Amino acid sequence: MISLESLARLAAAHPEDLGLTIAPLEIQGRVFDVDARPAVMGVVNLSRDSTYRESVAPSIASAIRKGRVQAAQGADIVDIGAESTDGTANRVRAEDQIGQLVPVVEALADDGILVSIESYAVSTVRAVLEAGARVLNLTGSADDDAMFELAAEYGAAVVLCHVEGPHARDLDGSSIHADPIPVMLTNFGQRIERARAHGVSALAIDPGVGFGFGVTQSPAERAARQTSILLNSFLLRRLGVPICQSVPHAFDLFEEEFRTAEAFFTVLARLGGAGLVRTH
Protein backbone atom coordinates (compact mmCIF):
# COMPACT_ATOMS: atom_id res chain seq x y z
CA MET A 1 0.00 0.00 0.00
CA ILE A 2 1.26 3.46 -0.89
CA SER A 3 1.30 5.87 2.03
CA LEU A 4 3.19 8.98 3.07
CA GLU A 5 4.94 6.87 5.67
CA SER A 6 6.14 4.31 3.14
CA LEU A 7 7.36 7.03 0.76
CA ALA A 8 9.13 8.79 3.63
CA ARG A 9 10.87 5.54 4.64
CA LEU A 10 11.99 4.98 1.05
CA ALA A 11 13.44 8.49 0.80
CA ALA A 12 15.11 8.26 4.21
CA ALA A 13 16.78 4.97 3.29
CA HIS A 14 18.50 6.47 0.22
CA PRO A 15 19.25 10.16 0.87
CA GLU A 16 22.36 10.11 -1.32
CA ASP A 17 20.27 9.16 -4.37
CA LEU A 18 17.59 11.83 -4.09
CA GLY A 19 19.66 14.67 -5.49
CA LEU A 20 21.26 12.89 -8.41
CA THR A 21 20.91 14.67 -11.74
CA ILE A 22 20.82 13.31 -15.27
CA ALA A 23 22.59 14.99 -18.17
CA PRO A 24 20.32 16.12 -21.03
CA LEU A 25 19.61 13.53 -23.72
CA GLU A 26 20.45 14.62 -27.27
CA ILE A 27 18.73 12.84 -30.16
CA GLN A 28 19.14 14.00 -33.75
CA GLY A 29 20.04 17.51 -32.66
CA ARG A 30 17.17 17.76 -30.18
CA VAL A 31 18.09 18.18 -26.54
CA PHE A 32 15.81 16.79 -23.85
CA ASP A 33 16.46 18.01 -20.30
CA VAL A 34 14.41 15.22 -18.75
CA ASP A 35 15.00 16.45 -15.21
CA ALA A 36 13.29 19.72 -16.10
CA ARG A 37 10.50 18.11 -18.14
CA PRO A 38 9.97 14.43 -18.89
CA ALA A 39 9.78 13.49 -22.55
CA VAL A 40 6.73 11.57 -23.77
CA MET A 41 7.00 8.56 -26.07
CA GLY A 42 3.75 7.64 -27.78
CA VAL A 43 3.22 4.11 -29.09
CA VAL A 44 1.76 2.84 -32.36
CA ASN A 45 1.38 -0.92 -32.80
CA LEU A 46 1.14 -2.54 -36.22
CA SER A 47 0.53 -5.85 -34.46
CA ARG A 48 -3.12 -6.71 -33.87
CA ASP A 49 -2.01 -8.78 -30.86
CA SER A 50 -1.39 -5.73 -28.71
CA THR A 51 -3.60 -5.55 -25.64
CA TYR A 52 -3.67 -1.75 -26.03
CA ARG A 53 -6.44 -1.66 -28.63
CA GLU A 54 -6.36 2.11 -29.10
CA SER A 55 -2.72 1.95 -30.18
CA VAL A 56 -3.29 -0.72 -32.84
CA ALA A 57 -2.99 0.44 -36.44
CA PRO A 58 -4.63 -2.03 -38.86
CA SER A 59 -2.75 -0.64 -41.86
CA ILE A 60 0.33 1.35 -42.82
CA ALA A 61 -1.82 4.38 -43.57
CA SER A 62 -3.44 4.08 -40.15
CA ALA A 63 -0.04 3.87 -38.44
CA ILE A 64 1.13 7.01 -40.22
CA ARG A 65 -2.04 8.84 -39.23
CA LYS A 66 -1.79 7.71 -35.60
CA GLY A 67 1.86 8.77 -35.43
CA ARG A 68 1.01 12.21 -36.77
CA VAL A 69 -1.88 12.57 -34.32
CA GLN A 70 0.33 11.60 -31.37
CA ALA A 71 2.98 14.13 -32.42
CA ALA A 72 0.31 16.82 -32.75
CA GLN A 73 -0.96 15.93 -29.27
CA GLY A 74 2.49 16.51 -27.79
CA ALA A 75 4.43 13.26 -28.07
CA ASP A 76 8.15 14.04 -28.26
CA ILE A 77 8.88 10.62 -29.76
CA VAL A 78 6.64 8.15 -31.59
CA ASP A 79 7.53 4.50 -31.00
CA ILE A 80 6.50 2.04 -33.74
CA GLY A 81 6.41 -1.75 -33.43
CA ALA A 82 5.23 -4.60 -35.63
CA GLU A 83 5.26 -7.46 -33.11
CA SER A 84 3.65 -7.58 -29.68
CA THR A 85 5.91 -8.20 -26.68
CA ASP A 86 3.24 -10.53 -25.27
CA GLY A 87 4.72 -14.00 -24.95
CA THR A 88 1.61 -15.59 -26.49
CA ALA A 89 1.47 -13.27 -29.50
CA ASN A 90 2.20 -14.37 -33.04
CA ARG A 91 5.79 -13.92 -34.19
CA VAL A 92 6.35 -11.68 -37.20
CA ARG A 93 9.21 -12.46 -39.58
CA ALA A 94 11.90 -9.78 -39.85
CA GLU A 95 11.18 -9.22 -43.55
CA ASP A 96 7.47 -8.73 -42.80
CA GLN A 97 8.30 -6.25 -40.06
CA ILE A 98 10.48 -4.35 -42.51
CA GLY A 99 7.66 -4.20 -45.05
CA GLN A 100 5.32 -2.73 -42.45
CA LEU A 101 7.67 -0.44 -40.59
CA VAL A 102 9.79 1.21 -43.28
CA PRO A 103 7.01 3.18 -45.03
CA VAL A 104 5.67 4.38 -41.67
CA VAL A 105 9.11 5.49 -40.51
CA GLU A 106 9.84 7.23 -43.81
CA ALA A 107 6.56 9.18 -43.72
CA LEU A 108 6.88 10.28 -40.09
CA ALA A 109 10.59 11.12 -40.38
CA ASP A 110 9.84 13.22 -43.48
CA ASP A 111 7.39 15.16 -41.30
CA GLY A 112 10.19 15.89 -38.83
CA ILE A 113 8.78 13.52 -36.21
CA LEU A 114 11.33 11.78 -34.03
CA VAL A 115 10.69 8.06 -34.55
CA SER A 116 11.57 5.17 -32.26
CA ILE A 117 11.46 1.54 -33.32
CA GLU A 118 10.83 -1.41 -31.02
CA SER A 119 12.53 -4.55 -32.34
CA TYR A 120 15.12 -7.18 -31.50
CA ALA A 121 15.91 -8.29 -35.08
CA VAL A 122 19.15 -6.90 -36.47
CA SER A 123 17.96 -6.79 -40.10
CA THR A 124 14.79 -4.95 -39.09
CA VAL A 125 16.74 -2.40 -37.08
CA ARG A 126 19.14 -1.71 -39.94
CA ALA A 127 16.25 -1.14 -42.35
CA VAL A 128 14.33 1.23 -40.09
CA LEU A 129 17.40 3.24 -39.15
CA GLU A 130 18.14 3.63 -42.85
CA ALA A 131 14.54 4.80 -43.26
CA GLY A 132 15.02 7.55 -40.68
CA ALA A 133 14.30 6.16 -37.19
CA ARG A 134 16.65 7.66 -34.61
CA VAL A 135 15.71 5.82 -31.42
CA LEU A 136 16.06 2.08 -30.90
CA ASN A 137 13.78 0.67 -28.21
CA LEU A 138 15.78 -2.50 -27.62
CA THR A 139 13.64 -5.23 -26.01
CA GLY A 140 16.25 -7.93 -26.53
CA SER A 141 19.87 -8.44 -25.56
CA ALA A 142 21.06 -11.37 -27.69
CA ASP A 143 22.57 -9.13 -30.39
CA ASP A 144 23.73 -6.17 -28.32
CA ASP A 145 27.02 -5.61 -30.13
CA ALA A 146 25.42 -5.56 -33.58
CA MET A 147 22.64 -3.28 -32.35
CA PHE A 148 25.08 -0.87 -30.72
CA GLU A 149 27.17 -0.73 -33.88
CA LEU A 150 24.09 0.11 -35.96
CA ALA A 151 22.98 2.78 -33.49
CA ALA A 152 26.43 4.36 -33.56
CA GLU A 153 26.55 4.22 -37.36
CA TYR A 154 23.26 6.11 -37.69
CA GLY A 155 23.68 8.37 -34.67
CA ALA A 156 20.65 6.83 -32.96
CA ALA A 157 19.77 6.75 -29.28
CA VAL A 158 19.20 3.41 -27.58
CA VAL A 159 16.69 2.57 -24.85
CA LEU A 160 17.98 -0.53 -23.08
CA CYS A 161 15.16 -2.64 -21.66
CA HIS A 162 15.75 -4.90 -18.69
CA VAL A 163 15.35 -8.33 -20.27
CA GLU A 164 16.97 -11.40 -18.73
CA GLY A 165 16.93 -13.48 -21.89
CA PRO A 166 17.20 -13.05 -25.66
CA HIS A 167 14.10 -10.84 -25.84
CA ALA A 168 10.93 -9.90 -23.97
CA ARG A 169 8.75 -12.46 -25.77
CA ASP A 170 10.63 -15.39 -24.23
CA LEU A 171 10.29 -14.35 -20.60
CA ASP A 172 8.21 -16.72 -18.48
CA GLY A 173 8.41 -15.16 -15.05
CA SER A 174 11.15 -17.47 -13.80
CA SER A 175 13.66 -14.62 -13.46
CA ILE A 176 11.60 -12.49 -11.08
CA HIS A 177 13.76 -11.20 -8.22
CA ALA A 178 12.51 -10.16 -4.80
CA ASP A 179 14.45 -6.92 -5.23
CA PRO A 180 15.21 -6.35 -8.93
CA ILE A 181 17.14 -3.10 -8.51
CA PRO A 182 20.58 -4.64 -7.70
CA VAL A 183 20.29 -6.94 -10.72
CA MET A 184 19.28 -4.01 -12.91
CA LEU A 185 22.18 -1.89 -11.68
CA THR A 186 24.62 -4.64 -12.61
CA ASN A 187 23.07 -5.58 -15.96
CA PHE A 188 22.38 -2.05 -17.09
CA GLY A 189 25.83 -0.93 -16.00
CA GLN A 190 27.52 -3.60 -18.09
CA ARG A 191 25.36 -2.91 -21.16
CA ILE A 192 25.82 0.87 -20.90
CA GLU A 193 29.58 0.41 -20.78
CA ARG A 194 29.46 -1.91 -23.80
CA ALA A 195 27.19 0.44 -25.76
CA ARG A 196 29.52 3.36 -25.15
CA ALA A 197 32.50 1.25 -26.19
CA HIS A 198 30.73 0.74 -29.52
CA GLY A 199 30.17 4.48 -29.96
CA VAL A 200 26.61 4.97 -28.67
CA SER A 201 26.39 8.31 -26.89
CA ALA A 202 22.64 8.72 -26.25
CA LEU A 203 21.30 6.09 -23.86
CA ALA A 204 18.31 5.50 -21.62
CA ILE A 205 17.23 2.51 -19.55
CA ASP A 206 13.82 0.86 -19.20
CA PRO A 207 13.24 -1.27 -16.06
CA GLY A 208 10.63 -3.26 -18.00
CA VAL A 209 7.63 -3.02 -15.69
CA GLY A 210 5.55 -4.82 -18.32
CA PHE A 211 7.90 -7.74 -18.94
CA GLY A 212 8.56 -11.10 -17.32
CA PHE A 213 5.68 -11.51 -14.91
CA GLY A 214 4.74 -15.03 -13.89
CA VAL A 215 1.39 -16.42 -14.97
CA THR A 216 0.61 -17.33 -11.36
CA GLN A 217 0.60 -13.70 -10.26
CA SER A 218 -2.80 -12.14 -9.72
CA PRO A 219 -3.59 -8.76 -11.31
CA ALA A 220 -3.29 -7.15 -7.89
CA GLU A 221 0.14 -8.72 -7.29
CA ARG A 222 1.32 -7.64 -10.72
CA ALA A 223 0.17 -4.05 -10.16
CA ALA A 224 1.82 -3.98 -6.72
CA ARG A 225 5.12 -5.14 -8.18
CA GLN A 226 4.92 -2.64 -11.03
CA THR A 227 4.21 0.13 -8.53
CA SER A 228 7.21 -0.90 -6.45
CA ILE A 229 9.50 -0.84 -9.48
CA LEU A 230 8.19 2.57 -10.56
CA LEU A 231 8.84 4.10 -7.14
CA ASN A 232 12.23 2.47 -6.56
CA SER A 233 13.68 3.16 -9.99
CA PHE A 234 15.24 6.43 -8.82
CA LEU A 235 18.04 4.21 -7.48
CA LEU A 236 18.98 3.50 -11.11
CA ARG A 237 19.86 7.16 -11.61
CA ARG A 238 23.28 6.23 -10.22
CA LEU A 239 24.00 5.01 -13.76
CA GLY A 240 23.78 8.59 -15.05
CA VAL A 241 21.31 8.00 -17.89
CA PRO A 242 17.58 8.78 -18.17
CA ILE A 243 15.03 6.23 -16.99
CA CYS A 244 12.24 5.34 -19.42
CA GLN A 245 9.08 3.87 -17.93
CA SER A 246 6.33 2.21 -19.90
CA VAL A 247 3.38 3.05 -17.68
CA PRO A 248 0.96 0.18 -16.87
CA HIS A 249 -2.77 0.27 -17.41
CA ALA A 250 -3.76 -2.28 -14.72
CA PHE A 251 -6.90 -3.02 -16.71
CA ASP A 252 -8.08 -5.77 -14.35
CA LEU A 253 -8.18 -3.24 -11.52
CA PHE A 254 -9.18 -0.02 -13.30
CA GLU A 255 -11.34 -1.56 -16.06
CA GLU A 256 -12.84 1.17 -18.30
CA GLU A 257 -10.89 3.80 -16.38
CA PHE A 258 -7.53 2.38 -17.46
CA ARG A 259 -6.58 5.71 -19.06
CA THR A 260 -6.86 7.22 -15.59
CA ALA A 261 -4.58 4.42 -14.40
CA GLU A 262 -1.92 5.46 -16.91
CA ALA A 263 -1.96 9.00 -15.51
CA PHE A 264 -1.78 7.63 -11.96
CA PHE A 265 1.21 5.42 -12.81
CA THR A 266 2.87 8.31 -14.68
CA VAL A 267 2.88 10.30 -11.43
CA LEU A 268 4.50 7.35 -9.65
CA ALA A 269 7.04 7.00 -12.46
CA ARG A 270 7.98 10.66 -12.16
CA LEU A 271 8.30 10.37 -8.38
CA GLY A 272 10.59 7.42 -9.06
CA GLY A 273 12.89 9.50 -11.24
CA ALA A 274 11.61 8.72 -14.74
CA GLY A 275 12.68 11.12 -17.46
CA LEU A 276 10.94 9.38 -20.36
CA VAL A 277 7.36 8.13 -20.19
CA ARG A 278 6.17 5.60 -22.73
CA THR A 279 2.39 5.51 -23.08
CA HIS A 280 -0.14 3.95 -25.40
Q: What is the pLDDT of residue 140?
A: 83
Q: 48 pLDDT band (50/70/90 cuts)?
A: low
pLDDT tens, position by position, 14-45: 999 998 999 999 999 999 999 999 999 999 98
Q: How confident is the model at residue 173 (pLDDT cuts 50, 70, 90)?
A: low
At residue 178, does pLDDT exceed 70?
Answer: yes
13 — pLDDT class (breaks 50, 70, 90): very high
State which amino acid sits at residue 12. Answer: A
Which amino acid does the sequence have at 230? L
Q: Is the pLDDT of residue 167 over 70?
A: no
Of 38-42, 242-246, 270-274, 276-280, which gets the smallest average pLDDT? 276-280
Confidence (pLDDT) at 88: 59
pLDDT reported for residue 252: 81
pLDDT digits (tens, 9 = 90+) for 241-259: 999 998 888 888 888 887 8
- pLDDT tops 60 at residue 215: no
Say what the alpha-carbon torsion angle 269, 203, 105, 62 is, to the nearest 10 degrees.
Answer: -10
How far is Cα 131 from Cα 112, in angstroms, rounded to an integer?
Answer: 13
**Per-residue confidence (pLDDT) for residue 51, from 0 to 100:** 62
First to last CA, the chain: 26
**93-143: per-residue pLDDT in tens?**
878 889 999 999 999 999 999 999 988 889 999 999 999 999 999 988 889
| pLDDT band per the 50, 70, 90 thresholds, residue 190 | very high
pLDDT at 142: 85
Amino acid (one-letter) located at 218: S
CATH 3.20.20.20 is held by the domain 32-279: yes
pLDDT-above-70 percentage for the chain? 86
Q: E-assigned strands of the chain? A: 25-27, 30-32, 39-45, 77-81, 115-119, 135-138, 157-161, 203-206, 244-246, 276-279
pLDDT of residue 214: 53
pLDDT of amino acid 216: 61
Where on the phi/psi map is residue 241: left (φ > 0), alpha (ψ -120 to 50), or beta?
beta
Q: What is the predicted pLDDT for the residue at 25?
A: 95
> What's the chain's average pLDDT?
87
Tell me the domain boundaries of the chain: 32-279
**Per-residue confidence (pLDDT) for residue 133, from 0 to 100:** 97
